[in-house]
Amino acid sequence: QVQLVESGGGSVQAGGSLRLSCVASGGTSSTACMGWFRQAPGKAREGVAAIHEFGSTRIADSVKGRFTISRDDAKNTLYLQMNSLKPEDTAMYYCAAEIGVCTSPPLLSSGYFEYWGQGTQVTVSS
């Protein structure tokens, strides 16, 4: 069983930056893939970025060039660096992990990930 705890969300003006963190615990020795998803009110959950344990990444077109995903396995921590934030980035951001086999780079599909955090809110004002 893997537990995920996100942090780093908050309120920021458009053009600003935030860095989200997700600490994993319990059975983390084989988190093959990890990712970030977001869900805005009234909208479906969408994949933002995902990273394979060997380093390959997949970034959604909507955030490409602005967001960067990384992981520090020594700290069991996943990061999402978000720059040039826009009001449309406002959402609850969720960390996800899969300990089984996953593709390289991982798919940005919520059904692909077994473990989820509780989310951290990001609000971008214009």
| Whether residue 68 has pLDDT greater than 80 | yes
Q: What is the DSSP letter of 42?
A: T
Q: Is the pLDDT of residue 63 over 90?
A: yes
Least Cα distance to 115 among 13, 10, 3, 12 occurs for 3
The pLDDT > 70 percentage for the chain reads: 97
Beta strands in the chain (DSSP E): 3-7, 10-13, 18-25, 33-39, 46-52, 57-59, 67-72, 77-82, 91-98, 115-116, 120-125
Q: Give the model's pLDDT for residue 118.
A: 97
Is 27 a residue whose pLDDT tops 70? Answer: no
Q: Give the pLDDT of residue 31.
A: 79
Average per-residue pLDDT for the chain: 94
Q: Can you give the length of the chain in residues? A: 126
Q: CA distances (Å), 93 to each of 17, 54, 120, 126, in order?
A: 15, 23, 5, 19
User: What pLDDT is recorded for position 99?
Assistant: 87
